[in-house]
Amino acid sequence: MKTIYDKISIRNSKMLTKAYSTSFSLGIRFLAKRFQNPIYAVYGFVRLADEIVDSFHGYPKAQMLAELKEETFKAISRGISTNPILNSFQEVVNTYQIDHENILTFLKSMEMDLEDQTYNQQAYEEYILGSAEVVGLMCLRVFTEGNDAMYQALKPSAMKLGSAFQKINFLRDFKADKDGLGRMYFPQLQSQSFNEQTKREIEQDVLKDFQDGYEGIKKLPKDARFGVYVAYIYYSRLLNKIVTLPPQAILEERVRISDKQKYALFFGSYLRHSFNLL
């Protein structure tokens, strides 16, 4: 029975999510039950593409990514795939009418990661659009459950929140991206060093995105709001920690929040949400 295969498929998406992101998987747990599997499916697909370009060293990455793109749209068209991750993703795309253009935009950003490069402002904005902003829009399609007016109203905030999360990831993973993958995302660093001034400029840019994104969180349907808020709180704390560190520390090691601190943040977020302080 296909029902059994579909259950196995979403289980694979959950496993992939939990293996690569404890923070994100914990945030998903705070969504209403009906949203959890669809968001696991979206994240599983995103993670699969990301791993091709980030960690499949020694293998034909460009060919594998092109094959993933082809198989993704075959799965969406057929309504099934023998790849469990794609099978769960196509179901979400077809059920919630996720825009195909957003999927293409995401995959284009993954293609940009196939080559070592330093990003100018235009490429930087294009990369963030595909790698983060449209992923936020995929999730928003799930949360708004066919309410297109709500989707359109919340679309700018969802994109800003995704942008903020991605820029914080860039700061957190600065050393690994630069030294391990040959990537320099921030356009300021084409002509300047990573110093106190450039670090502050980047942080202020992130804070602006966060402020815009937070306004959208408050307007999300209640069943989705808390899970997204948990992710917002985690990334806010991560940014706060980055702000306190000197540039050299960012260059030398990955910034982390301990599991104990994460759970404390989630508990505090729950209390705030329970008392309608969000």
Q: pLDDT class for 267, splitting at 50, 70, 90?
A: low
Quick one: pLDDT at residue 278?
Answer: 55
pLDDT in tens, 208-227: 999 999 999 999 999 999 99
| CATH code for the domain of 250 | 1.10.600.10
Question: Average model confidence (pLDDT) for the chain?
Answer: 90
Top pLDDT among 256 and 19 is at 19
Annotate 219-238 with three-state secondary structure.
Answer: CCCHHHHHHHHHHHHHHHHH
Interval 234-257: pLDDT, tens: 899 999 999 999 999 998 888 887
Q: What's the confidence (pLDDT) of residue 275? A: 41
Tell me if 107 sits within 8 A of 69, measured CB to CB: yes
What is the Cα–Cα distance from 41 to 39, expressed in whole angstroms?
A: 5
Beta-bridged to residue 184, according to DSSP, are 118
Phi, psi of 184 (to 5 degrees): -135, 100
CB atoms within 10 A of CB 55: 11
Determine the structural domain holding residue 67 and report its residue range: 2-274
pTM of structure: 0.91
pLDDT single digits (tens) 20-79: 887 778 789 889 999 999 999 999 999 999 999 999 999 999 999 999 999 999 999 999
Please, what's the b/e burial string for 159-176 (b: 16 or more CB within 10 A of its CB; e: otherwise)? bbbbbbbbbbbbbbbbee
Q: How many domains does the chain have?
A: 1
